[in-house]
């Protein structure tokens, strides 16, 4: 099971709390997913009030506030500080967005904000790209977790750059890694775990599915399958066929 900033989480699935048809369906989806962490936007918390806060507490999972929708260092830092007061946790999923069409992280502002927040006692979960230099700078800034995107938020495209994600895993073997964003299918979640990632964070794929509860259950099973597959050490891909039944010892017919 993943360990983030010294805290062991019971599940490798992290699930968002936005976009569900109703609070009741969200709660049912969380139970079906067996997710260990709920990500919550401070803006959503503010809009729902105490009822939403009580619903999140009743999920009985760790809460990871995020700075979704922030476009500057100042905005992200201020939002994080407010979230710490509301949710009483040093954890923060740090998002600083550059482009509204792709919701691509502003990696320069991200590193700056991560440094400020780490120095202020936050335990930062940065939403970043799979660029190795950016990941290295985030670790230098005090982050102990990296959350590279699989694809743009809400796109459902899966893992756009498996090579890049595999490279992040290889270069930072001891750093907890989470694929964050872009997951659309259970097979995408399984693939992330097969690459050796410690967890997957998703929201839209479950919340906007025709049956969010059934999709949540499917994601939980896929995460587990991917974990088992990675632990089993999969065979490597080949360009040529390799017979499962060798020619040696084959019966010779006269």
Parse the chain into domains and list their residue ranges: 3-232
State the average pLDDT for the chain.
92
Q: Please give the CATH superfamily to which domain 3-232 belongs.
A: Aldolase class I (3.20.20.70)
189 known ligand binder: no
The answer, yes or no, to whether residue 88 has pLDDT greater than 80, is: yes
Can you give the pTM of this predicted structure?
0.90
Instruction: Determine whether the annotation assigns residue 204 to a binding site.
Output: yes
- Asked whether 29 and 206 are in contact (CB, 8 A), the reply is yes
78 carries a ligand binding annotation: no
Share above pLDDT 90 across residues of the chain, in percent, rounded to a whole number: 80
Question: 109 to each of 73, 125, 141, how far by Cα in Å?
Answer: 6, 14, 12
- Of 57, 93, 115, 250, the catalytic one is 93
Residue 37 confidence class, pLDDT cut points 50, 70, 90: very high
**Given this model, what pLDDT does residue 60 score?**
86
- Give the tens place of pLDDT for each residue, 136-193: 999 999 999 999 999 999 999 999 999 999 999 999 999 999 999 999 999 999 999 9
Torsion sign (Cα): 209, 214, 217, 222: negative
- Residue 93 annotated as catalytic: yes
pLDDT in tens, 206-253: 999 999 999 999 999 999 999 999 999 998 888 888 887 766 666 666
Are residues 16 and 68 in contact, defined by beta-carbon separation less than 8 angstroms? Answer: no
- Asked if residue 222 belongs to a known ligand binding site, the reply is no
Residue 150: φ, ψ to 5°: -85, -40
Is pLDDT above 70 for 63? yes
């Amino acid at each position: 099971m993943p360990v983030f900033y010294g805290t062991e989480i019971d599940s490798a699935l992290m699930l968002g709390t936005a976009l569900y048809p109703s609070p009741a369906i969200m709660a049912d989806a969380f139970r079906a997913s067996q997710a260990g962490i709920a990500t919550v936007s401070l803006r959503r918390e503010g809009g729902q009030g105490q009822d939403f806060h009580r619903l999140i507490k009743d999920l009985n999972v760790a809460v990871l506030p995020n700075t979704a929708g922030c476009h500057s260092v100042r905005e992200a830092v201020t939002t994080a500080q407010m979230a710490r007061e509301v949710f009483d946790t040093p954890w923060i999923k740090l998002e600083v967005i550059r482009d509204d069409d792709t919701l691509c992280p502003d990696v320069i502002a991200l590193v700056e904000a991560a440094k400020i927040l780490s120095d202020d006692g936050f335990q930062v979960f940065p939403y970043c790209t799979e660029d190795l230099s950016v990941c290295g700078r985030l670790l230098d800034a005090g982050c102990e977790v990296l959350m590279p995107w699989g694809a743009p938020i809400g796109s459902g495209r899966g893992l756009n750059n498996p090579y890049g994600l595999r490279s992040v895993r290889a270069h930072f073997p001891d750093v907890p890694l989470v694929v964050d964003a872009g997951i659309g299918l259970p097979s995408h979640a399984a693939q992330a775990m097969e690459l050796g990632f410690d967890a997957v964070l998703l929201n839209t794929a479950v919340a906007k599915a025709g049956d969010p509860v059934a999709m949540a259950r499917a994601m939980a099973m896929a995460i587990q399958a991917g974990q088992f597959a990675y632990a089993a050490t999969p065979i490597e891909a080949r360009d040529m066929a390799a017979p499962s039944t060798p020619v040696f010892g084959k019966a010779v017919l006269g």
